[in-house]
Amino acid sequence: GESVGLHLPTLSVQEGDNSIINCAYSNSASDYFIWYKQESGKGPQFIIDIRSNMDKRQGQRVTVLLNKTVKHLSLQIAATQPGDSAVYFCAENIKGNQGAQKLVFGQGTRLTINP
């Protein structure tokens, strides 16, 4: 079946350190993955995405790694800041009927940045 899950529900790191959030997916046919950040009371905010023909993609302070062999995603945040504290979701873009798409979200990891 379709499922996307996260290994760790909570993660605390010191400000300035790097953080890594992991995600496992089960649908080997998936070709597009997205990381979202959700702050309390707000909607999911797009961070970075990656297509299945890539194994790494970098943004500003964020890097997403994709390992298709073991169906694993990770989000690396460099030099964490207090504003990085949030819940992070990985999402798998699933093709539905007639080419429509929908997102299947993982459990979410709460990242806390300690001063």
Per CB under 8 A, does 106 bind another protein?
yes
Which of the stretches 13-21, 35-43, 69-77, 78-86 binds another protein when contact is defined by CB under 8 A? 35-43
d(C-alpha 4, C-alpha 82), whole Å: 27
Give the residue, chosen from 22, 27, 107, 112, that forms a contact with another protein under the rule CB under 8 A. Answer: 107
Choose among 90, 41, 43: nearest CA to 62.
90
Of 19-27, 60-68, 75-83, 97-105, the window that binds another protein (rule: CB under 8 A) is: 97-105
Buried b (16+ CB within 10 A) or exposed e, 7-33: eeeebebeeeeebebbbbbeeeebeeb
> Among residues 77, 80, 84, 108, which is the contact residue for another protein, using CB under 8 A?
108
57: closest CA among 70, 76, 71, 72? 76
Q: Interacting stretch for another protein, rule CB under 8 A, among 14-22, 44-52, 68-76, 77-85?
A: 44-52
Residues at the contact surface with another protein, assessed by CB under 8 A: 31-32, 34, 36, 41-46, 49, 51, 89, 93, 95-108
